[in-house]
Amino acid sequence: MAEEEQVVAEKKPSIVITIAIIAVLTLFAAGGGWVVGNMLAPPPAEKPAEEAAKAEPAAGGHGEGGKAEAGEEIPHISTAANGIVLLDPITSNLAYPSENRVRLEVALMFKGAADVKLAEEVHQDIMAYMRTVTLQQVQGPRGFQYLRDDLQERVDLRSEGRVTNVMFRTFVIE
């Protein structure tokens, strides 16, 4: 009987030791994860006091913080002066299934000065093409790439090389 009591007495500390080891390993793993996380993604740089003061909204009223000083506005990058023309959104039915619709917003990058009349012709050409596309043709990343390539080819033919790039802003199928 004395031997059985010694065996039971030896097992109790082993459970406590096991729990202690698991707790220490958990803390070690959490600390290691924190260190690796800080090494991979350092905290964002702090803004200087001047930039923080400019970013705060004006005390005069609501919504004035987003505007530039003295009535200045931040210019859009896509303007005719930059050679980029935003086309109106294109909404059309697909060829099959005809109950599915596609909405597409496209911008055209011109060589040199932008031609708004040519941009409107390209807009109508893209709309006519989208009516011939089936859902199976544009499924997946490869289908979308084929659509981009087809539209770029049609725009190149229509513009005779004056449009260098067709940029998709949005593409939604419902």
Q: What are phi and psi of 157, to 5 degrees?
A: -65, -40
C-alpha pair distances (Å), 77 with each of 107, 111, 114, 122 = 11, 16, 14, 21
C-alpha pair distances (Å), 138 with each of 21, 142, 173 = 56, 8, 10
Identity of the highest mean pLDDT range in 8-12, 109-113, 164-168:
164-168
Q: 10 Å Cβ neighbour count for 147?
A: 19
Residue with the larger pLDDT of the pair 44 and 92: 92
Residue range 123-157, pLDDT digits in tens? 999 999 999 999 999 999 999 999 999 999 999 99
The rounded distance, in Å, linking the Cα atoms of 170 and 174 is 13
Whole-prediction pTM value?
0.55
10 falls in which pLDDT band (50, 70, 90)? low
**Residue type, position 159, single letter:** S
Q: What value does the mean pLDDT take over residues 33-46? A: 78
- Where are any strands of DSSP class E within the chain? 84-86, 90-93, 101-110, 163-173
Share of the chain above pLDDT 70, in %: 70
Residue with the larger pLDDT of the pair 39 and 158: 158
Q: What is the dihedral of CA 144, 149, 154, 157, to 10 degrees?
A: 170
The second-level CATH assignment, the architecture, of 80-173 is: 2-Layer Sandwich (3.30)
At 150, which helix (H) or strand (E)? helix 140-159
Per domain, the residue ranges of the chain are 1-74, 80-173
Whether residue 82 has pLDDT greater than 90 = no
β-pair partners for 108: 85, 166
62 falls in which pLDDT band (50, 70, 90)? very low
